[in-house]
């Protein structure tokens, strides 16, 4: 790789720490007890329908982000979803920065789940 191309190449994401699961795989994974399942949609979206046992932490509540996730075990897998996958991907990146080790994201979000 030339020096010039190395300057403009995107840094690889730590994809081994964030895994996007299709609906059947996600459903199977969260069927185990004691999973950390987080819905990062707004409270209104959550009350309109959500995955059973999901805890709602609004992605847009940025002021309390770290505090909202402080009660969870950073060494246990975290399962995330939002409406379509955008907010949960952004949440996953933030969680990696604060020390979470493994994150699973629902491909297509709640729209795909329904």
SS3 56: strand
Query: Using one digit for the tens of pLDDT, what is the confidence trace for 40-72?
Result: 999 999 999 999 999 999 999 999 999 999 999
Instruction: Give the residue with greater pLDDT, 30 vs 12.
Output: 30
**Residue pair 112/26 in contact by the 8 Å Cβ criterion:** no
- Which ranges of the chain does DSSP label H, i.e. alpha helix? 3-8, 23-29, 43-47, 65-69, 86-97, 109-113
Q: Which domains does the chain have, with CATH numbers?
A: 16-113 (3.40.250.10)
The answer to whether residue 31 scores a pLDDT higher than 80 is yes
Q: What is the pLDDT of residue 106?
A: 98
Query: Using one digit for the tens of pLDDT, what is the confidence trace for 87-98?
Result: 999 999 999 999
What predicted TM-score, i.e. pTM, was given to this entire model? 0.85
**What average pLDDT score do residues 18-43 get?**
95
């Amino acid at each position: 790789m030339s020096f010039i191309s190395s300057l403009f190449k995107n840094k690889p994401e730590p994809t081994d720490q964030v895994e996007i699961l299709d609906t059947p795989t996600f459903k199977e994974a969260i069927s185990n007890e004691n999973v950390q399942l987080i819905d990062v949609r707004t409270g209104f979206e959550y009350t309109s329908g959500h995955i059973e046992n999901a805890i709602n932490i609004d992605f847009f509540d940025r002021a309390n982000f770290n505090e909202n996730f402080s009660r969870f075990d950073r060494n246990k897998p975290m399962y995330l979803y939002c409406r379509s996958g955008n907010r949960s991907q952004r949440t996953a990146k933030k969680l990696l920065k604060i020390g979470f080790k493994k994150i699973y994201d629902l491909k297509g979000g709640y729209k795909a789940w329904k």
